[in-house]
Structure 1
Amino acid sequence: MTPPEHRTEPHPRTRPRVVVYGAGSIGCHLGGSLAATADVTLVGREDAMRVIDTEGVTLTGGGRPARHTPAGALRTATGPEAVAGADYVLVTVKSADTAGVARRMAAHLDPGTVVVSFQNGLRNAAVLTTALGGHAVLAGMVPYNVLRDGPGAFHQGSGGALMLDDRPQATDLVAALRAGGLPVQPRTDMREVQHAKLLMNLNNAINALSGLPLRDQLGERSYRACLALCQGEALAAFRAAGVRPARLGTIPAAWTPAVLRLPDALFRRLAGASLRIDAQARSSTWEDLRRGRPTEIDDLQGAVVALAARHGLPAPANSRLITLIRLMEAAGPEQARSWRGPDLLAEIAAPRR
């Protein structure tokens, strides 16, 4: 493993220097997409970076031809020193790691570096802003699913455009992302976008518990009814907090629980776009459990439970899903249970004593 500073000679400075901090599936997908248009460094675990040094990065899916970035075309690093000199740092670590990462890289950031949170959850941009003082911090959102499907290989299983705070500091990054083939929507309502994404991500735990690919799981009414319960609790908490989630698809957020409960055939007619997902796609929570890693359940279902509690509201379905995921985390990948839709619905809908 070479030192964390730099692996190769730097590219010409006409290209933005981008550091992706947290080079898992999403981070490697972003970094691999940017490799042709930016000077990219991936920061991640030593074993994962060793694979990138050997295999490079191969990206598939997303409606685009397979793309391979050879070993050596991307720098890799394992420590926070790699952020020195960066124009942009894209933070893609799990939410629980955000504060620690911010503390570690704070001393190495140049004054003009822009930090972008491309993470799940509602609080990461605020955590970064607090920890990094005067640095510009932008909120971003990745709408699609990416899973690692081989050494250095990452598959995008669903579509959609990246979303990012519409601020002048984002201009060069937006241009580089678009040149790398990634659609980007600058937004002035990222708070509302993040709440809408949280509604979508409440399916992550349900998908993991089902053991099914996303397309198959969302095709079954009983699993969608589980998601409808979770989203209904979240929407009630959002209303109490005065938040109106952004409309990210064809159906307004407030209507989604009712649509999810429709019979399968009618759901396919009204919300067919929800099922236009690659047959390989699964949730990040499924991948975390399969690989024996902690999940982000505290920043997904946990965020709903916490917000509901602040406003004196119950969130029993989300609370029960937290318990079920915690049990699977403790059991480990070999003991993972796959829940049938009717059984999972009965489990999270039943009154708790």
Structure 2
Amino acid sequence: MTDAPRIAVAGAGSIGCFVGGLLSAAGHDVRFLGRQRICDAIDAQGLRLTDYGTLDLTAQNLMTSTDAATCLRGADVVLVSVKSADTEAMAALIRAHAPNAQVISLQNGVGNADALRRALPGADVRAAMVPFNVVARGPGHFHRGTSGDIMVEAGPLPDLDTETLKWVQTGHIAAVQWGKLVLNLGNAVNALSDLPLLEQLQDRRWRRIMAAQMTEALRILTVAGITPAKSAAAPPWLIPHILRLPTPLFRRVAAQMLTIDATARSSMWEDLSQRRPTEIDALQGVILDLAARHGRQAPLNTRMRQLIKQAEAEGNGPPGLSPSDIAPRF
């Protein structure tokens, strides 16, 4: 691999545009494979990136395309950022057009890198964990609402660090991904509430639902022999205890763990808002599959999955439920 690799963003959605945009602004040769509306917006006005702090930059003259061959051919690194359900289809395109590229999965869930490896035998496929939240704020404008560095499976990598985005290698990426999955169970809670994440976290009733859902999942993982690793400032087993703290104490503790701006929302909220299928099956669905495999029940995760599937079917966007609508005992 050359010192200045050509990078293809395979799935120019919120995460792909934000990460790829920062890399392009730092001087990397980046190509974006995306839907027509996203390509058109970037071509017309550039790619604007903002965050919870002072970041506000616009990357201009970017190479975008809806054609896989145009974007993938000649790529040294492919950043896969499609939804989990589209992983196999994207792997087929990579196999056809960039079979020798290093492939890095920036996707939610725990099985996407393995799916890419099965479809791309012999390829250098790396799992990665993106801890922060990015949502679209308008055509060509993507906003990062929470803090954190990308964690990536250890091994030779080009230098992808930028001033505002770091890549941290780990030898325990699977455990880190399980830790992130447990945290990402809160995506559904946020989507169902239709509240900004920061506002939701100020309400102890919502935090208790999040904590109970995580505790339920952690019990299933223990039965399955899976030990999730820390993907945030606190280990997974401690986070439910922090969420249950009285609000004044929670605020003090949380302020030391994570930066969240007032507009941050989950990617699942964005999917419901855009009337797109969510990744509920790659999150709560994985916990429910493990529970069934080991003869256990996960009623709160079951409830979350049912409510998200109902919201998808109705197609009216985030339903704006209350804590008592989801779990009356909270």
Task: Please report the TM-score for the alignment, with normalisation by the length of structure 2.
Answer: 0.94
Q: CA deviation at 1:316?
A: 0.9
Q: Which amino acid aligns with 1:346?
A: P
Q: CA deviation at 1:104?
A: 2.6
1:48 matches 2:38: yes
1:214 matches 2:197: yes
- Output the CA distance in 1 between the equivalents of 2:243 and 2:228: 17
Query: For 1:279, what is the secondary structure of its paired residue?
Result: coil
Equivalent residue number for residue 53 of structure 2: 63
Query: For 2:151, what is the secondary structure of its paired residue?
Result: strand
- Output the CA distance in 2 between the equivalents of 1:265 and 1:243: 33
Equivalent residue number for residue 92 of structure 1: 81
1:262 matches 2:251: no
Equivalent residue number for residue 143 of structure 2: 155
Please give the per-residue CA displacement for 1:267-320, whole angstroms capped at 9, x wherever unaligned: 223333456311110000000000110000000111111112111111111111
Please give the per-residue CA displacement for 1:60-99, whole angstroms capped at 9, x wherever unaligned: 11434311111x2x21111321211111000000001101
Equivalent residue number for residue 181 of structure 2: 198
Superposed structure 1 runs of 4+ greater than 4 Å apart: none
Equivalent residue number for residue 321 of structure 2: 339
Q: Classify 1:258/1:180 alpha carbon distance in 2 versus 1 (closer, same or farther; 3 Å).
A: closer
Query: For 2:161, what is the secondary structure of its paired residue?
Result: helix
Contact map agreement 1:56 1:69 (CA 8 A) in 2: yes
Q: Which stretch of structure 1 is more off in the superposition, 253-262 or 125-134?
A: 253-262
Q: Which stretch of structure 1 is more off in the superposition, 22-31 or 336-345?
A: 336-345
1:77 matches 2:60: no
Query: For 1:321, what is the secondary structure of its paired residue?
Result: helix
Contact map agreement 1:204 1:283 (CA 8 A) in 2: yes
Equivalent residue number for residue 308 of structure 1: 291
Query: For 1:271, what is the secondary structure of its paired residue?
Result: helix
Q: Which of residues 241, 251, 255 is equivalent to 1:272? A: 255
Q: CA deviation at 1:184?
A: 1.7
Equivalent residue number for residue 122 of structure 1: 110
- Output the CA distance in 1 between the equivalents of 2:275 and 2:226: 35
- Output the CA distance in 1 between the equivalents of 2:99 and 2:87: 19
Equivalent residue number for residue 38 of structure 1: 28
Contact map agreement 2:197 2:264 (CA 8 A) in 1: yes
Task: Structure 2 unaligned segments of length 5 or more: list them.
Answer: none
Aligned positions, number: 327
- Output the CA distance in 2 between the equivalents of 1:93 and 1:230: 26
Equivalent residue number for residue 24 of structure 1: 13
Q: Classify 1:24/1:164 alpha carbon distance in 2 versus 1 (closer, same or farther; 3 Å).
A: same
1:293 matches 2:286: no
Q: CA deviation at 1:180?
A: 5.2
Equivalent residue number for residue 133 of structure 2: 145
Query: For 1:235, what is the secondary structure of its paired residue?
Result: helix
Task: Structure 1 unaligned segments of length 5 or more: list them.
Answer: 1-12
Query: For 1:346, what is the secondary structure of its paired residue?
Result: coil
Mapping of 1:165-244 within 5 angstroms?
165-168=153-156, 170=157, 172=158, 175=159, 177-179=160-162, 181-244=164-227
- Output the CA distance in 2 between the equivalents of 1:86 and 1:180: 23
Mapping of 1:318-329 within 5 angstroms?
318-329=301-312
Contact map agreement 2:10 2:33 (CA 8 A) in 1: yes
Please give the per-residue CA displacement for 1:169-190, whole angstroms capped at 9, x wherever unaligned: x2x1xx1x31353122111110
Query: For 2:104, what is the secondary structure of its paired residue?
Result: strand
Please give the per-residue CA displacement for 1:93-124, whole angstroms capped at 9, x wherever unaligned: 0001101111232111142x100000000100
Q: Which amino acid aligns with 2:103?
A: V
Percent identical: 45
Contact map agreement 1:115 1:137 (CA 8 A) in 2: yes
Task: Please report the TM-score for the alignment, with normalisation by the length of structure 1.
Answer: 0.88
Contact map agreement 1:302 1:322 (CA 8 A) in 2: yes
Contact map agreement 1:165 1:187 (CA 8 A) in 2: yes
Contact map agreement 1:218 1:275 (CA 8 A) in 2: no
- Output the CA distance in 2 between the equivalents of 1:340 and 1:263: 19
Q: Classify 1:227/1:344 alpha carbon distance in 2 versus 1 (closer, same or farther; 3 Å).
A: same
